[in-house]
């Protein structure tokens, strides 16, 4: 199959070439060969609503068949498209509403109700964006090829926006087809959000390129997963370490998949090896919103570990000899950054600075050693420890604060622990407690950034220069929790 460079080639007007392939979720199942009929109905609806191909559209995208049909139709017509999480995402906050940049003329949503092609459009809602600025649209899209736009996991949700041309997005997906050996016979279950680069660029689009059948899971727990697994019978599974741990704990007996692919938070070595033993080959994927898929483990290697990675075809890693900082050249690079007003944001370094440290293992292999800064990814957002520490100080209850991450996984990502030196008792009989500090955090931080645990300290150890000795604190915490 020749590599498509545009979504018009991936979704032609005629019946699709993936004969027998299906697209399903918990309540829908359609044949991929029927997609052109749905696209026709959606196109007529968009034209009737005044959505022009030159507009930039924001789409609240969840893991349902209807949402993907609308996404595919927009990509196919060459729309500038920004993907957003659906409002009310339980990993964020109750009532969570994603912000819409000024360059988006429309916000689209779609319900998950069943329907024939002519009925699905009844679930599409279009909201004109009150903050739309035509100058912002020109800054981001004037003279540009069609762009797929994704929010980075920016600190406290104030994210930069990554621009991807359709050709590079599809080229990146083609790399994944080759590495994971996806074919038309594959049955692919996707348990991760498709509005992220992992779920979109490494899972959904490669499965489509291969002509495979696809099943979507949303808000997965062990009972929902096992029920959909019995119905769909996947041989390929996209997941994250939290879902892997859920399967290891909740599944009775073993089941061998042809391949499992994981990305997201760091994968503990013991969990990785146990999953591999019980469920078959596990590829741990390394990349980012900017890079897409850059490297994976190779389960067939004897020294395979979750942090030992082999570059995908065409990807080159470079390690700074002084800092061990990891830089990456990618054959299918992102187009650049923009802010919410369409202004370009410079890319500081080329090759791309990943923010990680690593060492070379030779033969296009690296070993990840950790992050260059104090941060972690929680619920799809990059959380800077310094931001949480500043928020703790602003509660008025804390005189000093240090935030560290634990190896334990939570539903949002790495467990966050805040060590705090409380201020003197503000009023007699009202001592500052861990509970009162955490409660005060809700007025200063989004839910995904609130520490999972607060530990009180009388004082912090310091270095010879008088700074807080964070490394010693981290070691002390680890030693106190190690059996």
Task: Tell me the mean pLDDT in the region 450-474.
Answer: 82
Cα separation of 62 and 206, whole Å? 18
Task: Tell me the mean pLDDT in the region 164-172.
Answer: 95
pTM: 0.80
pLDDT for residue 256: 95
* Residue 427 clears pLDDT 70, i.e. is over it: no
* Residue 375 clears pLDDT 90, i.e. is over it: no
pLDDT for residue 92: 44
Mean pLDDT lowest among 174-183, 271-280, 292-301, 379-388:
379-388
pLDDT for residue 90: 42
Of all residues in the chain, the percent with pLDDT exceeding 90 is: 58
| Every domain of the chain and the residues it spans | 7-371, 375-481
Structure tokens at 273: 């090896």
pLDDT in tens, 203-232: 999 999 999 999 999 888 899 999 999 999
Give CATH superfamily name and number for 7-371.
ANL, N-terminal domain (3.40.50.12780)
Check if the beta carbon of residue 254 is closer than 8 Å to that of residue 279. Answer: yes
Q: What is the mean pLDDT of the chain?
A: 87
pLDDT in tens, 71-100: 999 999 999 999 998 875 544 444 556 689
Give CATH superfamily name and number for 375-481.
ANL, C-terminal domain (3.30.300.30)
Cα separation of 134 and 115, whole Å? 35
């Amino acid at each position: 199959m020749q590599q498509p460079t545009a979504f018009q080639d991936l979704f032609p007007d005629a019946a699709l070439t993936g004969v027998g392939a299906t697209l399903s979720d918990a309540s829908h199942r359609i044949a991929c060969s029927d997609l052109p009929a749905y696209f026709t109905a959606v196109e007529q609806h968009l034209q009737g609503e005044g959505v022009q191909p030159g507009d930039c559209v924001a789409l609240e995208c969840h893991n349902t068949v209807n949402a993907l049909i609308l996404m595919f139709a927009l990509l196919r017509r060459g729309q500038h498209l920004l993907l957003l999480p659906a409002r009310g995402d339980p990993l964020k906050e109750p009532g969570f509403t994603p912000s819409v940049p000024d360059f988006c003329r429309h916000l689209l949503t779609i319900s998950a109700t069943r329907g024939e092609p002519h009925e699905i459009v009844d679930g599409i809602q279009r909201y004109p964006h009150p903050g739309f600025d035509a100058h912002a649209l020109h800054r981001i899209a004037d003279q540009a090829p069609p762009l797929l736009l994704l929010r980075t996991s920016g600190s406290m949700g104030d994210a930069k926006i990554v621009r991807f041309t359709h050709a590079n997005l599809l080229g990146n997906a083609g790399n994944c087809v080759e590495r994971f050996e996806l074919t038309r016979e594959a049955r692919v279950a996707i348990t991760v959000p498709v509005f992220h680069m992992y779920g979109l660029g490494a899972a959904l689009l490669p499965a489509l390129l291969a002509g495979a059948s696809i099943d979507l899971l949303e808000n997965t727990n062990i009972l929902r997963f096992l029920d959909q697994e019995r119905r769909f019978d996947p041989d390929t599974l996209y997941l994250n370490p939290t879902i892997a741990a859920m399967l290891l704990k909740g599944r009775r007996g073993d089941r061998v998949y042809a391949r499992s692919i994981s990305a997201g938070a760091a994968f503990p070595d013991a969990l990785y090896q146990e999953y591999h033993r019980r469920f078959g080959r596990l590829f741990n994927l390394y990349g980012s919103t900017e890079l897409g898929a850059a490297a994976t483990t190779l389960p067939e290697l004897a020294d395979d570990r979750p942090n030992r990675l082999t570059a995908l075809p065409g990807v080159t890693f470079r390690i700074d000899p002084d800092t061990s900082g990891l830089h990456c050249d990618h054959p299918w690079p992102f187009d650049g950054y923009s802010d919410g007003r369409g202004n370009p944001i410079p890319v500081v370094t080329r090759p791309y600075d990943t923010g990680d440290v690593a060492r070379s293992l030779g033969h296009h292999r690296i070993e990840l050693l950790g992050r260059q800064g104090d941060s972690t990814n929680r619920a799809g957002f990059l959380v800077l420890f310094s931001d949480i520490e500043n928020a703790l100080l602003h509660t008025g209850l804390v005189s000093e604060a240090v935030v560290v991450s634990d190896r334990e996984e939570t539903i949002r990502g790495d467990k966050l622990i805040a060590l705090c030196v409380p201020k003197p008792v503000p009023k007699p009989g009202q001592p500052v407690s861990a509970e009162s500090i955490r409660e005060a955090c809700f007025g200063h931080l989004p839910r995904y950034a609130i520490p999972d645990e607060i530990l009180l300290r009388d004082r912090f150890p310091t270095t010879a220069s008088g700074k807080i000795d964070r490394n010693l604190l981290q070691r002390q915490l680890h030693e106190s929790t190690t059996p």
